[in-house]
């Protein structure tokens, strides 16, 4: 049974544990929260919560990369790099995680680009190699600045984890962006990336560490009407975690994500399932829902205050304009028509102006 004691607030724990307080990411969350009216817990937030764990990244590499690559990777040297290379304007649909590792005793990098869009247009998908090239060059540039003595660039293994309702149907190499004669190809840089289409991956192909399987199963079914029937399988995986406090933490992450993003499961159905699966699970789910609602209320009150302040500012500007028009001798009826200020208020301003 997952321990219900010591439940930590997810946003705080993620700040402490994963160092995701970068200002541009906060701004995305704030804007989306205000726009949607609920705490913005995105697909990208969910991906970050898992892939910032070294054991998840290591399990993925061992399970999904070719053996000819993994046999020369020194996993004892695997370390996460906290810097993000995704353009700020793309943060709603992309997230990235960079790990450095030794490959045949030499420095190397593994770059994960998580690409989410429920209905990503084919044209946008096709440009993924171009986005990757920019990020790869930025990683190399930073490496050279940090290691001025090196003569060779480190290899970077680019991995795209795609999460969308439509299947991936475009190329996975940079050369696929061009339509040129073969004699010109030698002048065009080329590389290939590993692609994993999670939404369309057969269940039997989802393997690896418990957290990795939880992540991929949840991603696969988040848009699927079968999600409600799969939730218990995902809960069973959580029960396999030896660290029960950690299991509780990830249960909260999972429930927040499902509450925000599941299209075919209501909060009431989710609470009923949690109550059925866990002892006093409904109380736990209710606590999370209450936390989310409290956060929503706080965000809403902040937004209302911003609107009220803006209204006061506009009202003050209109009154200043009205005063100047009165001083210039414009008749009251015309000023009422221009500013929308009542005749009574204009007469008060006129008396003050004189």
pLDDT in tens, 206-254: 999 999 999 999 999 998 899 999 998 999 898 888 887 888 888 888 9
Bigger pLDDT: 268 or 183?
Answer: 183
Which pLDDT does position 215 carry in this prediction? 95
Percent of the chain past pLDDT 70, that is, above it, reads 76
Residue 69 CB neighbour total at 10 angstroms = 15
Token pair belonging to 117 = 């869009």
Q: How many CB atoms lie within 10 A of CB 237?
A: 21
* Cβ within 8 Å of residue 93, ≥6 positions away: 44, 115, 116, 117, 120
Q: Which residue has the higher pLDDT, 273 or 142?
A: 142
Q: Extract the tokens encoding 116.
A: 């989410």
Q: What is the mean pLDDT of the chain?
A: 79
Quote the pLDDT of residue 39: 43
**pLDDT at residue 120, as a whole number:** 53
Digit-coded pLDDT (tens) for 273-298: 887 777 655 555 556 556 655 655 56
Q: Are strands 73-81 and 94-103 parallel, antiparallel or unpaired?
A: antiparallel
Identify which of 81, 175, 176, 171 has the alpha carbon closest to the alpha carbon of residue 135: 81
Mean pLDDT value of segment 56-72:
96
Q: What is the pLDDT of residues 82-108, one digit of tens each?
A: 888 877 766 666 788 999 999 999 999
**Phi, then psi, of 297 in degrees rounded to 5:** -60, -40
Helices and strands in the chain: count of H runs, count of E runs: 14, 5
- Average pLDDT, integer, range 33-49: 65
Q: What is the pLDDT of residues 27-37, one digit of tens each?
A: 444 444 444 44
Q: What percent of the chain shows pLDDT beyond 90?
A: 36
| Tens of pLDDT, residues 296-340 | 556 556 666 777 778 788 888 888 888 888 888 888 888 888 888
Which residues face 107 on adjacent strands?
Answer: 102
C-alpha to C-alpha distance for 125 and 33, rounded to whole angstroms: 27
Q: Which of 101-105, 124-128, 253-257 has the lowest mean pLDDT?
A: 124-128
Contact between 239 and 279 under an 8 Å Cβ cutoff? The reply is: no
Query: Which is more confidently placed, 217 or 6?
Result: 217
Higher pLDDT residue, 305 or 342? 342
Q: Give pLDDT, residue 22.
A: 42
More confident residue, 193 or 33: 193
């Amino acid at each position: 049974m997952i321990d219900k004691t010591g439940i930590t607030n997810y946003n705080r724990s993620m700040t402490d544990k994963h160092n995701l307080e970068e200002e541009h990411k906060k701004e995305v969350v704030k804007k989306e929260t205000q726009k949607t009216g609920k705490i913005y817990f995105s697909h990208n937030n969910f991906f970050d919560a898992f892939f910032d764990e070294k054991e998840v990244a290591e399990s993925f590499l061992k399970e999904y990369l070719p053996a000819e690559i993994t046999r020369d990777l020194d996993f004892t040297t695997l370390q996460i790099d906290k810097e993000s290379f995704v353009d700020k304007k793309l943060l709603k649909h992309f997230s990235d995680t960079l790990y450095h590792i030794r490959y045949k005793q030499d420095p190397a990098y593994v770059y994960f680009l998580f690409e989410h869009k429920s209905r990503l247009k084919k044209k946008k998908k096709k440009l993924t190699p171009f986005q990757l090239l920019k990020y790869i060059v930025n990683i190399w540039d930073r490496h050279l600045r940090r290691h001025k003595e090196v003569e060779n660039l480190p290899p970077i293994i680019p991995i795209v984890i795609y999460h969308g309702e439509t299947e991936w149907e475009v190329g996975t190499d940079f050369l696929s962006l061009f339509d040129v004669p073969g004699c010109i190809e030698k002048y065009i840089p080329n590389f290939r990336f590993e692609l994993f289409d999670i939404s369309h991956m057969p269940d039997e192909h989802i393997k690896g560490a418990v957290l990795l399987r939880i992540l991929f199963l949840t991603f696969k079914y988040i848009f699927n009407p079968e999600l409600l029937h799969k939730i218990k399988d995902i809960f069973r995986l959580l029960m396999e975690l030896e660290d029960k406090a950690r299991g509780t933490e990830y249960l909260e992450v999972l429930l927040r994500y499902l509450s925000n993003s599941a299209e075919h499961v209501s909060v009431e159905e989710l609470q009923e399932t949690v109550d059925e699966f866990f002892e006093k699970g409904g109380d736990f789910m209710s606590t999370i829902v209450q936390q989310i609602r409290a956060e929503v209320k706080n965000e809403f009150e902040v937004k209302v205050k911003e609107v009220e302040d803006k209204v006061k500012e506009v009202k003050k500007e209109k009154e200043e304009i009205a005063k100047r028009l009165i001083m210039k001798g414009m008749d009251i009826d015309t000023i009422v028509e221009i500013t929308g200020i009542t005749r009574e208020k204009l007469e008060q301003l006129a008396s003050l102006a004189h």
